[in-house]
Amino acid sequence: MADLASLRPTMRSFDPTKVGAEGWYDDLTDCAVTRDVMPLVPDGAEERVIGRWDLSQGDKSPVFWLDLPMDEEARGVGNTEHGVLEVRTAVAAEARCLVTDRALRIACYRGQSVGPGKLSKTAVVMLKVPLSQISHVDPGKSNAFSTGAPVKVVLGEWEAVISVKKAARANDKFSSGIFATAKNNEFAAEVDAARRNHG
């Protein structure tokens, strides 16, 4: 596993149709995903899965947003040639999320991203967020049928925010059922508990 990837949030985009049926692992970012756009814990990683979450809704509009400091050319803090940074939306999509005892492992699809352009089922942004980088979790305001304010997972040191409008608990294949209601409060509580227990 890459040491760098264990210390900070990492992100990578790829086209799963160009890899084998076994999926894909990126050593630099320590991100893994199946060809069917399901995030994985890489082989050999000492991580325990706590929960699986489907971050989508029936109309296929984005319910997951990742906001990061970027310049006008989508260069972030990791690029030494970046210009003036402002917090901008890097990804707006549907997603699937693994909550483990060490990280959030997220696969984003069918939406928009600044880097790779338009997302679809054949374009994926993989994201790994170590629990140690989460400063706090805001549960937002929601019930089973509507969201007044999304869940916000704040990465204070990196000035980044993950926002989730709808989260439903999923099975091993990340299916939550066509009539699944939102469980945003449960999602926020699970992420926050994992963060606290990790610390």
In tens, the pLDDT along 87-97 reads 889 899 999 99
* Cα distance between residue 140 and residue 80, in whole Å: 35
* Cα distance between residue 176 and residue 168, in whole Å: 6
Average pLDDT over residues 74-82: 79
Q: What is the pLDDT of residues 95-153, one digit of tens each?
A: 999 999 999 999 999 999 887 678 887 788 999 999 999 999 999 998 877 889 999 99
C-alpha neighbours within 13 Å on the C-beta side of residue 18: 7
Query: Strand, helix or coil at 193?
Result: helix
- pTM, whole model, 2 decimals? 0.90
* Cα distance between residue 166 and residue 58, in whole Å: 11
**Lowest-confidence segment of 17-21, 139-143, 193-197 by average pLDDT:** 17-21
| Fold annotation for 4-198 | PH-domain like (2.30.29)
Buried b (16+ CB within 10 A) or exposed e, 58-70: eeeebbbbbbbbb
DSSP string, 135-180: -EEE--EE-SS-EEE-EEEEEGGGTEEEEES--EE--TTS---TTP
Is residue 151 within 8 A of residue 164, CB to CB? The reply is yes
DSSP 120: B
Cα 15 to its chain centre, rounded Å, is 17
